[in-house]
């Protein structure tokens, strides 16, 4: 049995509001994302999932409320402070990989380590090599993004995102463009990173992806309307799956 530890928030949001024109897309959301958690945000299309992720990570400035990451305030931070925060503490994965098309997967991963990190090029190259092995990319790393499968490209994008040991890995529909087999590979990678202690915030409308989390939030019309705690993936799979399905059904999913 593991000790019950008091969880500390990596990111803390108070009364987050985002508006586009007249529309309130985020409606005074209070939300803490805890260290070591695999938090999932679910909700129908247009409910505000991506907007919440962008506000929490400072990619968009919220119109109201306060967001903290440790002793740094995300809301109201200067562009320079945000750039530093993203480089030092955040990793990002999106539906599209945004890999540089004329660089091999390996060089894409290396490049992320060379930008902004204090490590020597040798150390960066060594870490990139280790990550490539961890992500089971040995056979693909020396190819260009156009020469590998969608799953391999996305795993390289995940490797690139965690090069700088981020305090939190943000992922917005990372399997949205993948087939079933590739989705599973990428999700297995997220599970592995979580087991190794990586804090993850995943936005998805895929039940299979949500099942990997230990805390699932449901957002509707810019509000978090429900929350579900799940045991760790791998234990009592059937029970977890049933619990998630019933919860989603109750929410009219």
Contacts with Mg ion by CB under 5 A lie at 50
User: What is the smallest separation between the CB atom of 227 and ligand ADP, expressed in angstroms?
Assistant: 17
User: What is the smallest separation between the CB atom of 173 and ligand ADP, expressed in angstroms?
Assistant: 8
Structure tokens at 62: 């919220």
Smaller CB distance to ligand ADP: residue 20 or 238? 20
Quick one: what does residue 51 bind among Mg ion, ligand ADP, none, with the CB cut-off 5 to 8 Å set by partner type? ligand ADP
Residue labelled with tokens 């090069």: 163
Smaller CB distance to ligand ADP: residue 190 or 218? 218
What's the rounded Cα separation, in Å, for the pair 149 and 31? Answer: 36
Smaller CB distance to Mg ion: residue 50 or 108? 50
Smaller CB distance to ligand ADP: residue 43 or 145? 43
Quick one: what does residue 76 bind among ligand ADP, Mg ion, none, with the CB cut-off 5 to 8 Å set by partner type? none
User: What is the smallest separation between the CB atom of 66 and Mg ion, expressed in angstroms?
Assistant: 23
Smaller CB distance to ligand ADP: residue 63 or 103? 63
Q: At what angle do helices 105-114 and 121-134 cross, to 10 degrees?
A: 130
User: What is the smallest separation between the CB atom of 210 and ligand ADP, expressed in angstroms?
Assistant: 14
Which of these, 164, 166, 89, lies nearest to 124 by C-alpha position? 164
Quick one: what does residue 214 bind among ligand ADP, Mg ion, none, with the CB cut-off 5 to 8 Å set by partner type? none
User: What is the smallest separation between the CB atom of 44 and ligand ADP, expressed in angstroms?
Assistant: 7
Residues near ligand ADP (CB under 6 A) are: 20, 25, 43, 45-51
Q: Which residues contact 239 (CB under 8 A, 6 or more apart)?
A: 231
**φ and ψ at 68, to 5 degrees?**
-115, 145
Q: What is the DSSP letter of 139?
A: T
Structure tokens at 209: 């992806």
Quick one: what does residue 20 bind among Mg ion, ligand ADP, none, with the CB cut-off 5 to 8 Å set by partner type? ligand ADP
Strand pairing report for 72-73 and 64-69: antiparallel
Smaller CB distance to Mg ion: residue 50 or 198? 50
Sequential DSSP letters for 187-216: HHHHHHHHHTT--EEEE-S-HHHHTT-SEE
User: What is the smallest separation between the CB atom of 173 and Mg ion, expressed in angstroms?
Assistant: 6
Quick one: what does residue 78 bind among Mg ion, ligand ADP, none, with the CB cut-off 5 to 8 Å set by partner type? none
What's the rounded Cα separation, in Å, for the pair 58 and 222? Answer: 17
By beta-carbon distance, which residue lies closest to Mg ion? 50
Which run of H or of E encompasses 67? strand 64-69
């Amino acid at each position: 049995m593991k000790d019950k530890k008091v969880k500390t928030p990596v990111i803390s949001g108070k009364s987050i509001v985002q508006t586009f024109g007249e529309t309130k897309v985020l409606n005074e959301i209070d939300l803490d994302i805890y260290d070591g958690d695999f938090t999932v945000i679910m909700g129908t299309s247009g409910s505000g999932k991506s907007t919440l992720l962008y506000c929490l990570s400072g990619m968009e400035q919220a119109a109201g409320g306060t967001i903290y990451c440790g002793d740094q305030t995300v809301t109201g931070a200067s562009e320079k402070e945000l750039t530093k925060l993203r480089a030092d503490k955040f990793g990002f994965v999106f539906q599209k990989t945004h890999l540089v098309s004329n660089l091999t997967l390996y060089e894409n991963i290396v490049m992320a380590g060379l930008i902004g990190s204090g490590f020597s090029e040798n150390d960066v190259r060594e870490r990139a090599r280790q990550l490539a092995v961890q992500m089971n990319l040995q056979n693909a790393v020396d190819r260009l993004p156009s020469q590998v499968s969608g799953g391999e490209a996305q795993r390289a994008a995940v490797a690139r995102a965690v090069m700088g040991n981020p305090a939190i890995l943000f992922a917005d529909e990372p399997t949205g463009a993948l087939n079933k087999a590739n989705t599973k590979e990428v999700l297995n990678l997220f599970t592995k990173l979580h087991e190794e202690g990586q804090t993850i915030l995943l936005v998805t409308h895929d039940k299979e992806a949500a099942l990997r989390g230990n805390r699932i939030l449901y957002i509707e019309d810019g509000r978090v309307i429900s929350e579900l705690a799940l045991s760790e993936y791998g234990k009592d799979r059937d029970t977890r799956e049933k619990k998630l399905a019933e919860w989603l059904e109750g929410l009219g999913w």
